[in-house]
Amino acid sequence: MLITNIKALVGVHPKEKLFLRGSELNQLPILENAWLLLENGLIKDFGLMSKIPSQISNLKSQISAEDRFVFPSWCDSHTHIVFAAPREEEFALKIAGKTYEEIAAAGGGILNSANKLQKTTEDELFESASSRLKDMIKQGTGAVEIKSGYGLTVESELKMLRVIERLKAKFPIPIKASLLAAHAYPTEFKNNHQAYINLIINELIPKVAAENLADYVDVFCEKGFFSNEETAQILSAAATYGLKPKIHANQLSSSGAVQTGIAHQAISVDHLEETDEEVLEALSNSDTIATLLPSCSFYINIPFANAKDLINNNAIVALASDYNPGSTPSGNMNFVVSLGCIKLKMTPEQSINAATLNGAAAMEMSNEMGSIAIGKKANLFITHPMTSLAYLPYSFGQSQIETVILNGEIYHG
């Protein structure tokens, strides 16, 4: 497939650039008035229309993208899209002034989702997660990480991971799975944390590893959830099975979670709404990626992460959706990129880089996703006619995406 007359081909980073740190995020290389050739599911070549070789311009399968931008697909590195039911009942409580913590303490929250998921079949979960993923793909997402964490029993956590395995087989995009059994303490382990941790370490992790059901391990390291010591135990055990951490850190409090993640060579520490000086220092020049989830801050009315100072301190900043039924009932990466600009005060270039190349890096797939480079996967989208790059985040809440292309073919859903 050949795409011609592209107003701007966005994100033509050198192929060897696998992540963007600090001020590197300011640079979003763009080719104006360009063509792009896709072959065998990959990006074959691209260049300026003024210099298009005649053997290429004569190709049959062509799309003319006049006035339109071509972007690499969004790489959403943090989601919880396998869940049994939405939680609108908490929406009303939230509007009435209850906090996320108060709702969870009153029997809402993660335990509520776990109760429902335990009673839901694998097939039902697969169907509902498929329809969420399809929506996300239509909104430009071309790679995704999905977590377990609403099972909270060996059987139900495995059920969730099997659903993710089936999603991997069904969808034409790269998917990574994270084991988040340490998402909340089930009620029966409320007064015996160690017994639940032992269950995760001695039963669940070995099974998950034996069946190769997860790429990463995640822990909700937070006051009232998993302490730093508890998190460290789980991360150490997971490491012996080759499961690297991507953890929930500093969402509701400044708990030392970021430091715990870094000490265990986490691929990413995610959330960081509580970005204190220690967090800035710990992530400065660190290889652990700071993944920010601004639509979570937006929805549950908590502070927005300090993206600016993270970038000023030379951190690698990524953006992701956190799509889940409790704190972020949306997987719209266009909105995430808008919030990156509006609330995290990132420039459009920084925000787009964070949601593409750095998002891919947070799933260890930036060698094949996240930018327009020869040999990378041809997962991209063509926008509606747009006046400028900034129009995409500026027109918040609306999708500027006209055509989604996955593996070099138009995605019809």
Nearest distance from C-beta of residue 366 to ligand NIG, angstroms: 23
Asked if 218 interacts with Fe ion (CB under 5 A), we say no
- Dihedral sign, CA of 207, 210, 213, 216? positive
Which is closer to ligand NIG, CB of 220 or CB of 411? 220
Which is closer to Fe ion, CB of 146 or CB of 280? 146
- Where do we find the tokens 């799309």? 63
Which is closer to ligand NIG, CB of 128 or CB of 327? 327
Which is closer to ligand NIG, CB of 180 or CB of 373? 180
CA 75 vs. chain centroid, Å, equals: 6
By CB under 5 A, what part of segment 125-184 binds Fe ion?
Answer: none
Nearest distance from C-beta of residue 110 to ligand NIG, angstroms: 5
Which residues of the chain form contacts with ligand NIG (CB under 6 A)? 109-110, 113, 220, 248, 251, 296, 322, 324-327
Region at 256 (left for phi over 0; alpha for psi -120 to 50; beta for the rest): left
Which is closer to Fe ion, CB of 222 or CB of 322? 322
Which is closer to ligand NIG, CB of 104 or CB of 201? 104
Q: Which of 247, 238, 174 is nearest to 209 (CA)?
A: 238
| Residue 326 contacts which entry, Fe ion, ligand NIG, none (Cβ below 5-8 A, type-dependent) | ligand NIG
* Residue from the set 322, 332, 365, 404 that interacts with Fe ion by CB under 5 A: 322
Residue 39 dihedral angles phi and psi, to the nearest 5°: -150, 135
Question: CA–CA separation, 319 vs 351, rounded Å?
Answer: 7
Nearest distance from C-beta of residue 109 to ligand NIG, angstroms: 5
Nearest distance from C-beta of residue 4 to ligand NIG, angstroms: 42
Answer for the pair 395, 89: CB distance below 8 angstroms, yes or no. Answer: no
The two three-digit tokens of residue 75, written as one number: 């790489």
| Residue 327 contacts which entry, Fe ion, ligand NIG, none (Cβ below 5-8 A, type-dependent) | ligand NIG
Question: CA–CA separation, 157 vs 160, rounded Å?
Answer: 5
> Parallel, antiparallel, or unpaired: how do β-strands 317-319 and 141-147 relate?
unpaired
Distances from the Cα of 366 to the Cα of 54, 103, 105, 159, angstroms: 32, 38, 39, 29
| Residue 340 contacts which entry, ligand NIG, Fe ion, none (Cβ below 5-8 A, type-dependent) | none
Nearest distance from C-beta of residue 325 to ligand NIG, angstroms: 6
Amino acid letter for position 346: M
Question: CA–CA separation, 208 vs 299, rounded Å?
Answer: 32
Answer for the pair 193, 185: CB distance below 8 angstroms, yes or no. Answer: yes
| Residue 325 contacts which entry, ligand NIG, Fe ion, none (Cβ below 5-8 A, type-dependent) | ligand NIG
| Residue 251 contacts which entry, Fe ion, ligand NIG, none (Cβ below 5-8 A, type-dependent) | ligand NIG
- Where do we find the tokens 């967090």? 279
Which is closer to ligand NIG, CB of 180 or CB of 213? 180
Question: CA–CA separation, 411 vs 321, rounded Å?
Answer: 21
Which is closer to Fe ion, CB of 215 or CB of 322? 322
Which segment (36-44, 118-126, 167-175, 317-325) binds Fe ion by CB under 5 A? 317-325
Nearest distance from C-beta of residue 321 to Fe ion, angstroms: 9
- The residue with its CB nearest to ligand NIG is 326
Question: CA–CA separation, 41 vs 32, rounded Å?
Answer: 23
| Residue 348 contacts which entry, Fe ion, ligand NIG, none (Cβ below 5-8 A, type-dependent) | none
In 266-375, DSSP assigns E strands to: 268-271, 289-292, 317-319
> Parallel, antiparallel, or unpaired: how do β-strands 401-406 and 380-385 relate?
antiparallel
Nearest distance from C-beta of residue 72 to Fe ion, angstroms: 23
For binding to Fe ion (CB under 5 A), which residues are involved?
322
